[in-house]
Structure 1
Amino acid sequence: MTASTSTAEAPAGLLQQARALLIRTMTFYRDDPRTASWLRERLERIEAPLRIAVTGRVKSGKSTLINALVGAELAPTDAEERTQVNTVYQYGPEPRITAYTPHGAAQNVPVTTLDPGTIRDLQRWRPDEISRLVIDSPSPGLQAITLIETPGVSSSAVKETGRSALAQILSEADAMLYLTRHPHQTDIQFLQSAHELEVARRAPINTILAFSRADEVGSGGSDAMPSADRVAELYRNEPRVRSFAQYVLPVIGLLGQAAATLDADDFDALAALARLSSAEFENLLLSADRFVNSTTPETVSTTTRQDLLQRFGRFGVEHAVTLITRGAGDLKKLRSALLADSRLNDLQESLHQQFVERQEALRARSVLMAVEMVLRANPRSGGRQLRGEFERLLANAHEWDELRLLSALRSGQVRLPPHEREAAERLLGAFGNQRHIRLGRRPDAPESELSNRASDALLQWRTLAMDPMRDHVHREAARTVLRSCERLIADTSVRDTAG
């Protein structure tokens, strides 16, 4: 290629385009310090870990599940709803707590360790005194994501401030994990209202719905999880839920927290309980007082029993002991079995696949939502060009279409024959966004091989998209994969030109 020939460049991705629009919007509102500062914060967050709001109705198990996901007991868990302020759990090399007032002033709370009791006391402050807590923790579980715990959707804190939890979530988070014991009309209405903005309606790709106390479904006991699975399947296919949630799954938050924080002392105590006869153990579990105050076995102290019951719950203690008697004979095996049975592994995999692996699409969504909120709240003359660019980005955000279809394939909302599903997921980027991975080829595959593979895929999915024997849903799915193939073809053309 000669020096006078321009080098072909691939078109900027959605996040790059959204970021550029955010900067132009910030420049347009530079004479409005409050708006410009708010937009600057959103610009800075693009480089920070993905922010996931953990929200839901009062006492849906938000704190418990946060502890399970982090793998440490940070969020305080109480019998009553105590969270009054948004609490951000983020990675930091040293433990630190920062409290923010509604006016933005920050105050560091001196701590050497992160004690849930200290956090609990701060969370009980009135929202007009402390609007946000930021907890820095060196927990590895927070290196890839930041978790934001909100007050319960119907809590007194939300009503007292006059600002809904919805506004906070839209402002603070890239994605949402919504917890409920069982979906009620309140949950559906809240989640629908979270998708009122144009960006949210165009890209309902940031929500996972979890039944966080699956062990309580139906009559509880051994039939609870199968019942919860059936309920989850019903809601996955419910049109209103499908319009905003990418996945619906059951999880036992308390069991997940116990598994994630299980240590050698816990295992020794549970193993001692497992050595009791069935009759003795069942007798212990007749009431909490009997379990805590019993002296059988003598090696398990009252303090240990209280801790086990608080962290595991009655169901968790019984389940852990059952697993030990069935062969989970060491700490590693028990933790693995508890994590699997709690479905925490499933939730973590869903969070990783739906959110972490596709975080650029989610960040672009957050950026464009911020731009939309500003253009709506503070319209001014001369903003037509910004609005036009905003609309163009929304109309061409294929990355969002890919995410929606991947979610639909994984949740069973769209069903394809196994060979078609595998090919579709690969072309949509489920196993990696690199071109050779999408095309199922080695990293060192020559350009000619990648080009031929992309052309073959294009022809296959064009045929499926036009198949009159398929219904509208499946033809639309095929068209989404087809557009992904077209992008791969375009990418190949750009590389050939550049070469």
Structure 2
Amino acid sequence: MSSPVGPVGPVGPVGPVTSRLVEVCTRTRERLRTPVLRDRVDGLITRLGEPRIRVAVGGRMNAGKSTLVNALLQERLAATGATETTRLVTWFRHSHQARIRVHRRDGTERVLPLPAGGGVGASAGSLEDAAGIGHLTVETPNDTLTRHTLVDTPGMDSLSRLDPDSLAALGDADAVVYLMPHPGERDVEAIDAVRGWAGGLRLGAANMLGVLSRVDTLSGEDDPWPTARRVADRYAGELRAVLSDVVPVAGLLAETARGPDFTEADARALRALAAADRGGVARKLRTVQRFRGWAEAPVDAGDRERLLELLGLHGIRVGLELLDEGRRSTPALLEGFAQRSGIATVLERIETVFVGGADRLRASAGIAALEHLGWDAPDEVDRRALLALQSDLDRLRLEPALRQVELAGALVDLEAGRMRLAGEDVVRLRDLATGADDARRLGLDAGAGPEAVAAAAAAQIPQWRRLEARPSRVLQRHARTARELCEHILFAGPDGADRPAAPTLPTWQARSPSR
């Protein structure tokens, strides 16, 4: 699938590593003679010049992807429910105009208005031939899109029915948020398929975040969060090679908390329920059928149905708890919903790991795209240009900013048993591969000062140098990458050039036997 390039405005300069990659692409493009190869490089140069990182939301069918997208957008723009648009890849981009671009597979394009408050779903009736549509681009002045571009993808049911449009969109993203309502083997298979489509190790723990969506369906308890946290922690451990973490989220509650739909009338309906016999209300909230069929309810059927649509049974229970805590105003309820939804952790990870790491993630994606450029070109001039490109890419991979992305491969090798590490070394490796900043890469708190960061980096360098002396070539390669990343952190910080080199281990210690 060709990536849509919409009108974008600058939010900051392209990072230094990406800038170097653009220079490499430009030099290569000038040397190529085959028009198809030149066009591919032109497209990549345009893609690398985008000022916003691409974050795709993926997962199997009915995982709640569009609901989470709406929560991230703070607006109901993504189509939810069983509409044709939920089966189309949809890009959400910042623009000064609100409209939908319908990109057809035959290369033609159609522009539709974006209805106020209606989003993509309100325009579904205009999409008479969904099979002929490649993807949609929603252009909107939504302020949340000034930091990143969001991609909503259709569900992937199983390995035999993986949607190629979804795989292409996920593979073309810089980072992926992968939703799992009830994690299982199919999710592992789908994640592996996405990574394979994207070129293997380019997508992994450095740029994939797992979200345990719909936490209210994980148990029959009134408070599902203890179970949700246990499940999320278990899968974060089992999928640590490919996901940076697994975060539990109540998607519907997050969508309502951050959206514009919950009104004072809805707050009044909740307050009426709170004023009724609490035991009777709790019994009716056991099932949707009981709540809908409540003949003597203190709120009418229309209000009950709206509360179910906005909050679900779990969200209504949360609303009653918030009222008991004294949060009676609409803003106070919305704030409480947001806090109880778990969405804050997802927003923090997107901002610190994805947006904060945009330069290295985008450069990594660009290198992966160049590696699929077509090395078997029949033209001799093109082959020489591509050979020079490979040398340029090898040098670019030495950039410290790309070392963390490279370490995602170490987690995969560790999980597959291709190398062995002691427990403390596993923790250090995982921190280096997934940390959102230098402090967290070194196992420190996010607010650690530069001197503490430098000391931690200096302490790790001899440890990784020791592991470089082990017989395993796989371990040697990853330990060298980890050491070089620590050295970059040490010497790139304040007064780094004045610091003494990290201590070298004695020969007898450096040659300690492998595990």
TM-score for the superposition, normalised by structure 1: 0.77
Contact 2:356 2:436 in 1 (8 A): no
Contact 2:291 2:304 in 1 (8 A): yes
Q: Partners of 1:389 and 1:197 in 2: how far apart?
A: 24
Q: Summarize the alignment of residues 441-480 of structure 1 with structure 2, pairs less than 5 Å apart.
A: 459-465=458-464, 480=485
Q: Partners of 1:22 and 1:88 in 2: how far apart?
A: 25
Q: Partners of 2:66 and 2:38 in 1: how far apart?
A: 34
Structure 2 vs 1, CA of residues 186 and 245 (structure 1 numbering), >3 Å: closer, same or farther? same
Q: Summarize the alignment of residues 338-357 of structure 1 with structure 2, pairs less than 5 Å apart.
A: 338-357=337-356
The reply on whether 1:187 has 2:187 as its aligned counterpart is yes
For residue 103 of structure 1, the aligned residue among 101, 106, 109 is 106
Q: Partners of 2:495 and 2:188 in 1: how far apart?
A: 41
Q: Partners of 1:388 and 1:367 in 2: how far apart?
A: 15
Contact 2:450 2:494 in 1 (8 A): no
Q: Partner of 2:383 in structure 1?
A: 381
Q: Partner of 2:510 in structure 1?
A: none
For residue 403 of structure 2, the aligned residue among 401, 404, 407 is 401
Q: Summarize the alignment of residues 360-375 of structure 1 with structure 2, pairs less than 5 Å apart.
A: 360-375=359-374
Q: Partners of 1:260 and 1:89 in 2: how far apart?
A: 17
For residue 249 of structure 2, the aligned residue among 245, 248, 251 is 251
Q: Which amino acid aligns with 1:440?
A: P
CA offsets, 1:343-376, max 9 Å, x none? 1111111111110111111111221122122135
* Unmatched 5+ stretches in structure 2: 1-14, 412-424, 499-515
The reply on whether 1:133 has 2:133 as its aligned counterpart is no
For residue 118 of structure 1, the aligned residue among 109, 122, 128 is 122
Q: Partner of 1:440 in structure 2?
A: 450
For residue 94 of structure 1, the aligned residue among 91, 94, 97 is 97
Offset of 1:28 from its aligned partner? Answer: 4.1
Structure 2 vs 1, CA of residues 478 and 384 (structure 1 numbering), >3 Å: closer, same or farther? closer
Q: Summarize the alignment of residues 241-280 of structure 1 with structure 2, pairs less than 5 Å apart.
A: 241-261=239-259, 262-280=262-280
Q: Which amino acid aligns with 2:343?
A: L
RMSD: 4.0
Contact 1:62 1:149 in 2 (8 A): yes
Q: Partners of 1:423 and 1:179 in 2: how far apart?
A: 24
Offset of 1:283 from its aligned partner? Answer: 4.6
Offset of 1:176 from its aligned partner? Answer: 0.7
Deviates more, 1:67-76 or 1:104-113: 104-113
Deviates more, 1:19-28 or 1:256-265: 19-28
Offset of 1:275 from its aligned partner? Answer: 1.5
Offset of 1:214 from its aligned partner? Answer: 1.6
* Unmatched 5+ stretches in structure 1: 1-11, 442-452, 494-499
Contact 1:52 1:145 in 2 (8 A): yes
Q: Percent identity?
A: 25
Structure 2 vs 1, CA of residues 377 and 136 (structure 1 numbering), >3 Å: closer, same or farther? farther
Contact 2:202 2:405 in 1 (8 A): no
Deviates more, 1:47-56 or 1:374-383: 374-383
The reply on whether 1:318 has 2:317 as its aligned counterpart is yes
Count of residues in correspondence between the two structures: 449
Structure 2 vs 1, CA of residues 292 and 112 (structure 1 numbering), >3 Å: closer, same or farther? same
Helix, strand or coil for the counterpart of 2:359? helix
Structure 2 vs 1, CA of residues 237 and 391 (structure 1 numbering), >3 Å: closer, same or farther? same
CA offsets, 1:310-353, max 9 Å, x none? 12112111221222123222223322222122111111111111
Q: Partner of 1:233 in structure 2?
A: 233
Q: Which amino acid aligns with 2:112?
A: V
Structure 2 vs 1, CA of residues 322 and 59 (structure 1 numbering), >3 Å: closer, same or farther? same
CA offsets, 1:191-237, max 9 Å, x none? 22333479652663221111111221143531x22122112222222
Q: Partner of 2:419 in structure 1?
A: none
Q: Partner of 1:414 in structure 2?
A: 427
Q: Partners of 2:87 and 2:437 in 1: how far apart?
A: 47
TM-score for the superposition, normalised by structure 2: 0.75
The reply on whether 1:334 has 2:343 as its aligned counterpart is no
Helix, strand or coil for the counterpart of 1:83? helix
Q: Partner of 2:62 in structure 1?
A: 59
Q: Partners of 2:159 and 2:185 in 1: how far apart?
A: 19
Q: Partners of 1:454 and 1:58 in 2: how far apart?
A: 43
Offset of 1:405 from its aligned partner? Answer: 7.4
The reply on whether 1:486 has 2:491 as its aligned counterpart is yes
Q: Partners of 2:127 and 2:161 in 1: how far apart?
A: 13
Q: Partners of 1:155 and 1:82 in 2: how far apart?
A: 20
Q: Partners of 1:287 and 1:439 in 2: how far apart?
A: 51
Helix, strand or coil for the counterpart of 1:54? strand
Helix, strand or coil for the counterpart of 2:371? helix
Offset of 1:255 from its aligned partner? Answer: 1.3
CA offsets, 1:274-310, max 9 Å, x none? 2212133235435545534657666x45433322211
Structure 2 vs 1, CA of residues 264 and 40 (structure 1 numbering), >3 Å: closer, same or farther? farther
Q: Which amino acid aligns with 2:228?
A: A
Q: Partners of 2:443 and 2:99 in 1: how far apart?
A: 38
The reply on whether 1:77 has 2:80 as its aligned counterpart is yes
Q: Which amino acid aligns with 1:219?
A: G
Deviates more, 1:210-219 or 1:187-196: 187-196
